[in-house]
A and B are shown apart, each in its own frame.
Chain A
């Protein structure tokens, strides 16, 4: 599905990704683990086109993403939930969810269907659909950011440290939501970054470890 080959990327002149090789398969949940500062966020941002490639190649289903601007990557079916949620504060939860559909000019039936599916997978969101994005707790915001990523990400969804800062009950709810997504969208590829991987033990198909901008381990747990 998504392939990164010998990816290098710089931030402020510093080579932050030195050599990243990564394959994310359709229907699988891949976890990118690594210490703080290892380059997890930067890897996802490179996939989204928010950080330019210094070298290497990023391709999805055979097409090179390198030349595509960010918005075209979203249009190609990649959903992204950043580390720090980043909802539009002035929009209601529902308008936040609908923003990608609006941007991509989805027909209204499709828009409705995707929204219903998100409410189905994340019933918490339906209850707070009218609240302002700026008036949510951190955990609620993470749920909305997940829902928003699902509105775009029909093929691949990138979640950056989704569990960070979640209270245990909420973390559990979030993990259950990911489980539901997994079973309801069997073809979806999921790439999740995490610094404490045990939270994901039950849903992971593949664990990739990144250290100082390099992939050091790539394991598929025995069934």
Chain B
């Protein structure tokens, strides 16, 4: 059984790693800006489109395929640098302090606009460029062949958890974010320019989602529907972990990844719904997620 489960598990964890990137950004934006951003999955899709386009260009221009590796991060950074400030300053800030229903409707409208824009710019066909996966090759462990790229994805997710924790604990920006999460008003009165913290935190969230999409694109490609699927799963993961929890999002992604693998193995017809079943079960027992609580606002 282990022989059959191991490849599935690596596959599941690699997927979980990708969803983690989206979920942790969603959670971060929720804690700092107090907005549940329905359009967050679109950044995942746009990151994927940007990265595939850049990689396709690199390869067609006859440049070294190794350049497609930095291209994954570079395309996510470009997407974040443009869309982060534009969306936060252009749209979200007008909804601060307004009813949640309005915020959800505004971000829902943004989501629909992004979906259409993607079709307009990239068409409706699926795009794919797997140079990064090829470059990493495969390893044989215990007679089973693994894609090294998937192992890299899992390692990157762990790295991002650690990096975010260090950011929150030891850097100026991280500490200011923690303060703004706990008390935006007092933060202002103590000299924190909260507008900048909102913009920077949102941009970081966009980067994480776009990076997730960029990393996903060499394995599954990107097509219409990529964004909606990402946001729905990320919502489930963020809710299971407790909105605003970094490690919570990581563990929830892990739980969802493993549960999906078990479903594929034992009851494949349920694979698609198990994340939401887990979410329901967790929310009914612990309404603020596995690691969340109402009283303590932290990150």
Contacts and interface: CB of A to CB of B under 8 A. Distances in A.
A48 B190 CA distance: 10
A102 B172 contact: yes
A90 interface: yes
Nearest to A149: B190
B193 interface: yes
A74 B186 CA distance: 11
Contact of B186 (A73, A82, A90, A95): A82
Contact of B175 (A70, A75, A102): A102
B185 A88 contact: no
Interface string A122-165: 00000000000010000000000000100010000000000000
A50 B190 contact: no
Contacts of A73: 189
A4 B185 CA distance: 22
B34 interface: no
A80 B185 CA distance: 12
Interface residues on A, range: 20 to 34
B97 interface: no
B190 A89 contact: no
Contacts of A49: 188-189
Interface string A64-95: 00000111011100001010001011110001
A153 to B, nearest CB: 10
A34 interface: no
A95 B191 CA distance: 15
Nearest to B168: A90
B97 to A, nearest CB: 13
B179 A71 contact: no
A104 B176 CA distance: 11
B1 interface: no
Q: In this complex, which of B178, B185, B191, B195 has the most chain A Cβ atoms within 10 angstroms of its Cβ?
A: B191
B191 A80 contact: no
A138 B138 CA distance: 60
A216 interface: no
A104 B192 CA distance: 7
A127 B270 CA distance: 58
B123 to A, nearest CB: 45
Contacts of A74: 188-191
A88 B183 contact: yes
Most chain A C-beta atoms within 10 Å of own C-beta, residue among B178, B190, B192, B298: B190
A105 B298 CA distance: 23
Given A103-B190, A103-B192, A86 B176 contact: no
B78 interface: no
Contacts of B183: 86, 88
Interface in A86-121: 86, 88-91, 95, 99-100, 102-105
Nearest to B190: A100
B214 to A, nearest CB: 32
B176 A90 contact: no
A130 to B, nearest CB: 15
Contact of B191 (A88, A89, A90, A152): A152
Interface centre among A49, A99, A104 (most CB of B within 10 A): A99
B296 interface: yes
B190 A152 contact: yes
Nearest to B195: A69
Contact of A71 (B182, B188, B298): B188
B170 to A, nearest CB: 11
Interface string B172-207: 100110110011011111111111000000000000
B182 A89 contact: yes
A80 B172 CA distance: 21
Given A71-B193, A71-B194, A102-B172, A86 B186 contact: yes
27 contacts: A48-B189, A49-B188, A49-B189, A50-B185, A69-B188, A70-B188, A71-B188, A71-B194, A74-B188, A74-B189, A74-B191, A86-B185, A88-B178, A88-B182, A88-B183, A89-B182, A89-B298, A90-B178, A91-B178, A95-B175, A99-B190, A99-B192, A100-B190, A103-B187, A103-B190, A103-B191, A148-B190
Given A69-B195, A73-B189, A99-B179, 14 more contacts: A48-B189, A49-B189, A50-B185, A50-B189, A70-B188, A71-B191, A82-B186, A89-B182, A90-B298, A91-B175, A91-B178, A103-B176, A134-B296, A152-B190
Q: Which A-B residue pairs are the 8 nearest by beta carbons? A: A74-B191, A103-B191, A70-B188, A103-B192, A100-B190, A104-B191, A86-B186, A88-B182
Interface of A: 48-50, 69-71, 73-75, 80, 82, 86, 88-91, 95, 99-100, 102-105, 134, 148, 152
Interface of B: 172, 175-176, 178-179, 182-183, 185-195, 296, 298
